[in-house]
Chain A
Amino acid sequence: MELFLKIAAAAVLVLMLFYLWPTYKQWQEHGPKAQKGDWQAAILPLGAVVLFVIVLIMAVR
């Protein structure tokens, strides 16, 4: 049962890759490019998430 579920999950994930591929290509080729300061504005909250997760891990240790 478990092996069957593992194979099914892997198959569905591979299927998902096929569905994601055109979306990825479209964003890569036609998506808007970052302007000056855009990445800084994104890295700031993502960095905060990383720090927050580290605090949560320290809380359970």
Chain B
Amino acid sequence: MANPGFTVAQATQSAISTNKVLKNTYMLLAATLGFSALTAMLSLALAAPPWTYMASVIVAMLLGIFVLPRTANSSAGIGVLFLITGLLGFGLGAILSLYLALPHGPQTVGLAFGGTAAIFLGLSGYALTSKRDFSFMGGFIFAGMMVVIFAVVANIFLQMPALSLAISSAIILLMSGFILFDTSRIARGEETNYIMATYGIYLSIFNIFISLLQLLGILGDD
């Protein structure tokens, strides 16, 4: 016969460890977002040229593919994560300086920032309070990501504004799906590595911000 006391203790232990991953993820996310803001301000102050953005994203992607997964189970992973988010922030600063130079640029940047915060908080709150399992979206989200990556590669060379708009819209939807998917996985104890969890959510927020900025920039008065 199963020992009910042992089962309750096991469930409590599992809930505590899930809450710990969630708490650590959000603390690390806040720290990395703050660090990105600092490096973005540094990039703005140094008036980094626009190509800095692409260079930073390339290095950050390589670090995310090859280095982070190998260090995510050690304290070195935190350093790598800060390096990646710092680089992405520095690249973002170069893009922000272009937008801020437009007549309604500060308004566009402010709206994109506020919009991203509202989308992230709304979706995370929904995933946490509904306690639903959104992992069924995994296949759909990864398929969508692959299609979008194909389109991005094509548009690097084609430079079609309509395709840019379509890509930005698709990225906002996909990253919103990723926030639901990642948050529900953390809340249900399926993701136990808070460094990888932070990296996933950070990338979703970063991509939503960049895509929203692009959409508002193209469709705005400027």
Per the bound structure, the CA–CA distance linking A33 and B11 in Å amounts to: 25
A13 to chain B, nearest CB (A): 5
Which A-chain residue is minimally distant from B172 (CB atoms)?
A53
Inter-subunit contact A60/B216 (CB<8 Å):
yes
Inter-subunit contact B172/A49 (CB<8 Å):
yes
Per the bound structure, the CA–CA distance linking A38 and B180 in Å amounts to: 12
Per the bound structure, the CA–CA distance linking A16 and B69 in Å amounts to: 14
Per the bound structure, the CA–CA distance linking A53 and B149 in Å amounts to: 22
Per the bound structure, the CA–CA distance linking A9 and B115 in Å amounts to: 27
B100 to chain A, nearest CB (A): 15
Inter-subunit contact B212/A17 (CB<8 Å):
no
Beyond A21-B146, A28-B142, list 4 extra A-B contacts (CB 8 Å).
A35-B136, A49-B122, A59-B111, A61-B220
Q: Which residues of B contact A (CB under 8 A)?
A: 51, 54-55, 57-58, 61-62, 65, 104, 107-108, 111-112, 115, 118-119, 122-123, 126, 130, 132-139, 141-143, 145-146, 149-150, 152-153, 156-157, 169, 172-173, 176-177, 180, 212, 215-216, 219-221
8 examples of A-B residue contacts, CB within 8 angstroms: A12-B58, A20-B142, A28-B143, A33-B136, A41-B134, A48-B122, A49-B176, A56-B216
